[in-house]
Amino acid sequence: MTHRDLIELVDREKIRDCLARLARGEDRRNAELIASAYSPSATIDYGIFAGSLDEYLAWVVPGATGIPVTQHVLGQSLIQLYLDTALVETHVLAYHRVAGPAAHRDTVIAGRYLDWMDKVDNSWRISLRSMVYDWHQDLGDSVDWSSGLMGMPIDTAAYCGRAHGDPSERFFDDGWTGADDGALT
């Protein structure tokens, strides 16, 4: 393995880490995590939202009160590296619980993020993100946790995910700082 191969391998892992931090930040509505994945002058276009990083943070961090839970599951990423620039396509399945007048509904969106990423000071950040939607499925009424999990009681406060007050926030003690090495601080 050459020195250049090793640099490329590390760059690819840093890109994947950046994407994972962003997904977690969006699910937890954590502005620091989200901002750590973008260049300050980034442009974001999801079709249903288009604007600057600051405008995006103002839109996504409080989140819609009608969407109490999201989960972004990242699939494979095709990464084309060009020294300090990368073109990245990442598959995503995005689950959303949507509050309705009578009950919550579950929906899944599948698509791909198209990210132009730049490496500045050995750190990869998204400069331009756009979304391609491949399919969407309304799964119907959300599960009623009052009956437990598979008929067994469950403490929903400790074991069920949500945008704010998620158990992972306590697990990480809000230690995510966006550090490139992935270490908790």
Question: CA torsion, points 57, 61, 67, 69, in degrees to nearest 10?
Answer: 120
| Domain extent listing, the chain | 3-165
Q: What is the pLDDT of residue 58?
A: 93
pTM of the predicted model over 0.75? yes
Rg (CA), the chain: 18
> Which pLDDT tens digit goes with each residue over 85-106?
999 999 999 999 998 888 889 9
The C-alpha atoms of residue 134 and residue 132 are separated, in whole angstroms, by: 6
CATH topology of domain 3-165: Nuclear Transport Factor 2; Chain: A, (3.10.450)
> Which pLDDT tens digit goes with each residue over 9-33?
999 999 999 999 999 999 999 999 9
Q: What is the pLDDT of residue 180?
A: 43
